[in-house]
Amino acid sequence: MAQFVVIIPEGQWATERLFQHDAVTVPASVAAEVGDEVLLVAEEQVVALARVEKADGELALAYLRRAFDEPVPVALSEGPVDEATFRRFAERLGAPADRKPWLVSVAMPIEAANPAEAVRQFWSHVLELGPAELPTYVWPSGDELAMQAFVLGAEANQDPEEEDEDE
């Protein structure tokens, strides 16, 4: 089994940060084979550890560990990497974090004639605005005061009074 560094293209990295996938497919820019392990790098940071599941023109990489929110800075180029270097960065990703329940919400005022119409309008707005414009609110279950807004997978201030103070 060999180890590699694979760079995720910038546009694809943005999608990976927004949606939970079991695997990512990237162009086969390295000679990896099924079973090889890969450090996934985006923006000069190790963002995940993966295993090659398929290698035929493209690499299908199954996530083993993600560090999207706490990536590890790296100065490695794409290609094979020695085992000691690979293990050092893989260990810095840390163990998978304990999972806990979160509440996630998207709320918006909608004027409609009835609940069914309101739901249709809601989903139309969600599709139209998407994650680039529509804030999503998240908080640990049972701790509503810890609510945070996220846009494009990153924390975003939604308080217009605080924005005015910054100007």
Instruction: Kindly report whether the global pTM for this prediction surpasses the value 0.85.
Output: no
Determine the pLDDT at residue 160: 67
Specify which residues 42 forms β-bridges with: 45
Span 85-138, pLDDT tens digits: 999 999 999 887 788 999 999 888 899 999 999 999 999 999 998 888 888 899
What 8-state DSSP symbol labels residue 98? P
Domains of the chain with CATH codes: 3-93 (2.30.130), 102-155 (no CATH)
Span 47-91, pLDDT tens digits: 999 999 999 889 999 999 999 988 999 988 999 999 999 999 999
Q: At which residue do the structure tokens 């590699």 appear? A: 4
**Which one-letter amino acid corresponds to residue 50?**
A
Determine the pLDDT at residue 2: 93
By three-state DSSP, how is residue 43 classified? coil
Determine the pLDDT at residue 79: 93
Determine the pLDDT at residue 144: 87
- Where residue 113 falls (left for φ over 0; alpha for ψ -120 to 50; beta otherwise) is alpha
CB atoms within 10 A of CB 95: 7
Determine the pLDDT at residue 108: 87
